[in-house]
Chain A
Amino acid sequence: MHPRSILAIARKDALDILLNKTTLSLLLTPIVLALLFLLIANLLGGHTTNALIYDPGRSSVEQVLKSAYPDLKITYANSSGDVAAAFGPDGSHKTTAYALGLAVPAGFDASLSSGGHPRLNFYVDGSQVSNQQSQLLLSALTNTSRGIANPQPPATITVATVNPPSQNALLNINQFYAAAVLMSSLLVGTTLVPGILAEEKEKRTLRMLMVSPASYSDVVAGKLLVGLVYQLLLAALVLVINGGFTGQVPLVLLFALLGSFFSVTLGLLLGSFFQTTSSAGAAAGMLSMIYIIPIFFVGTFAQLFGNNPFTTIVKVLPPYYIADGVINALTNQSTTTGTALDVGVVLGCIVLLLLVATWLLRRQAAVVSTI
């Protein structure tokens, strides 16, 4: 192998890939996807619930709203009339800046404790809070009031939860997006490498290369190099766009690196099978699902599916372990055993793919000059 030839081929391909509309579209797709996910995350996850509260005594009932809405933004009113004025009578239509309103009279808790029957006014903007949520909040306020009035519950209820869900699972949605775009970006290497390898054969430029100082090994290595560089750059870029540098960042980077290597070696294997760009592209397209499906079987989403035969099938796919490693790293839930398993499986697959591809390509090298 000649480093000069390898670098020359990589440089040439790096430029040619950008001039080729097909490969350029392929490179831009994960970036577009990442931006789309960013937009969705901002639209869905950036919502703040505004509440207007009059509670001069800082009653315990105020805590009901805070528990129901962790992102609650409270504005304290000067009087109950201000709260009433912000919402209007029951059934009326009014544009209001607040989703919830609460007017708690002074000494509310003390009145309840002494057997009194104070009046609490609860306001809801039906366009921001669903009926179900409203009923649940009303029920919670009622129960809290009962609890203040009579701290001794009528019955003792114990709760035992098995397989408890992750706390604040919905907060992991941004991390899910980061993992999803990273996994989808890995398709680039698998598609790019066989395409640029097949094109040299299709366009007969491979024959020209065979009478130059470059060997067939140099050609393959050069294309592998440019595929890997573009793949790594894309992986880093989509992680940056979707805030993927969170959690256990070194592990995130490790799995991004392993995923990139896996992607290009799988591409190399495809390139050793297929002789035309169309057949290589078709095969890569069919394989795209192996990067997408595992995303829905790791992290929080894994609990939705539980243990079923399909989950078992998905766990056979090497990208499952990449996705698993990434999502655990992003959500700070990596364990030594789990990480070792994920890394081991992916690394083993990379080595196996490389060995098989090398064997196939060596057989090709003997006849490449007749292509």
Chain B
Amino acid sequence: MNELEIMIETHDLRRTFGTKEAVAGISFTARHGEIFGLLGPNGAGKTTTIRMLTGQIDPTSGHAIVAGCDVVKDHTRLKERIGVVFEEQNLYERLSARNNLRFSCWLYGLPESRVDEVLQLVHLRDRAKDPVRAYSNGMKQRLMIARALLHRPPMLFLDEPSKGLDPISAREVRQAIQHLCQEGTTILLTTHLMEEADQLCRRVAFIVNGHIVANDTPRNLKLSHGQKAMTVILDQPEQGQNGNAPLSEVTLSLDNPADAERLARLMAQGHVRAIHSREATLEEVFIEVAGISLV
């Protein structure tokens, strides 16, 4: 597969539960080898979207192709080509990690030697014999990733992979995700953690009340909604101009030639300690675009 190949393609995908429209016509694509983020607050429709794309529930209308399989008509083939890591932990807690994975090998008809390979991948091989109930949340999450990877799916769905994890565990999970992407796995990631999406995703879509309100790379989104300015930190206050008080931090516009001269002057004086971009964070972009917060 090459990078141009489309792994997910949805057209006006909708899902209604009774009178409530959880997903109200979303269309997007995800290409081979990229991490595509679906960002939104709780109840936005992220999990419902994943359920439709993984064949757990059928769309009310619209269609979707995932890894070359129609999500409605090709259930059997779809299941062979996707891996899913759920938001909630759903491991067999009394069984050991090894037996959890052996069970998945039996389901997929894989050799049991694959168990050691994936355990090595997620750094759990030395704890393979321990019952899962003795695992930390981070270890359980890594085990679920390992389980999803057993059958080498070209497409992986991760639903809130860092939820409930401490920072160290969350970082381990993100490193694992990045490693998978480098190996060619296409990943659709749902999260309400903007930093995570910013760090991992090549492209993101903002979903609010079942609608996609933005769909672009994090960089483009931040550039199109941020300020074209920079903050310059000084190691001593700049001499106040026009009788104003001295400043240890100044904001300069990127479009203003006078500010460019001012920057050059400050740098020549050797007082500049740091320069920070005033581009928007993804969260700020989301709030501006969606009009709501992520909580």
Contact = CB atoms under 8 A, between A and B. Distances in A.
Interface of A: 4-5, 7-9, 11-12, 15-16, 19-20, 203-205, 207-214, 369-370
A19 to B, nearest CB: 4
A211 B56 contact: yes
Given A5-B107, A209-B107, A211-B84, 18 more contacts: A7-B106, A8-B103, A12-B92, A12-B99, A19-B131, A20-B94, A203-B92, A203-B93, A204-B88, A204-B90, A207-B90, A208-B84, A210-B56, A212-B108, A213-B107, A213-B108, A213-B109, A369-B51
Contacts of B79: 211-213
A16 B92 contact: yes
A213 B76 CA distance: 7
B95 A212 contact: no
B82 interface: yes
Contacts of B91: 205
A112 to B, nearest CB: 79
Contacts of B131: 19
Contact of A208 (B51, B82, B90): B90
Nearest to B103: A12
Interface residues of B, number: 28
Interface in B42-69: 51, 54-57
Contacts of B107: 4-5, 8-9, 209, 212-214
Contacts of A210: 56
Contact of B90 (A19, A205, A369, A370): A205
A4 B106 contact: yes
21 contacts: A4-B107, A4-B109, A8-B106, A15-B95, A16-B92, A19-B95, A19-B131, A205-B91, A207-B56, A207-B86, A207-B90, A209-B107, A211-B54, A211-B56, A211-B79, A212-B79, A212-B108, A213-B76, A213-B107, A213-B109, A214-B107
Scoring B51, B103, B131 by chain A CB atoms within 10 A of each residue's CB, the highest score goes to B103
Interface string B100-130: 0001101111000000000000000000000
Interface string B222-247: 00000000000000000000000000
A181 B59 CA distance: 52
Interface of A, secondary structure class, is helix
B259 interface: no
Given A8-B103, A211-B54, A16 B95 contact: yes
B86 A15 contact: no
A15 B99 contact: yes
A49 B79 CA distance: 73
Contacts of B51: 369
B80 interface: yes
B105 to A, nearest CB: 8
Contacts of A19: 94-95, 131
Given A4-B109, A7-B106, A15-B99, A369 B57 contact: yes
A212 B104 contact: yes
Given A205-B91, A205-B92, A213-B76, A12 B56 contact: no
Contacts of A208: 84, 86, 90, 147
Contacts of B54: 211
A283 B99 CA distance: 31
A4 B80 CA distance: 14
Contacts of A203: 90, 92-93
Nearest to A367: B57
Contacts of A7: 106
A185 to B, nearest CB: 24
Contact of A12 (B90, B106, B109): B106
Which residue, B54, B82, B95, B106, has most C-beta atoms of chain A within 10 A? B106
A208 B94 CA distance: 16
A211 B80 CA distance: 9
A12 B56 CA distance: 22
6 smallest CB-CB distances across A and B, nearest first, come from A8-B106, A369-B56, A204-B90, A19-B94, A12-B103, A211-B84
Contact of B95 (A12, A213, A370): A12
B103 to A, nearest CB: 4
B162 to A, nearest CB: 18
A8 B132 CA distance: 19
B73 to A, nearest CB: 16
Nearest to B104: A212
A181 B92 CA distance: 33
Interface centre among B89, B92, B107, B131 (most CB of A within 10 A): B107
Contacts of A370: 56-57
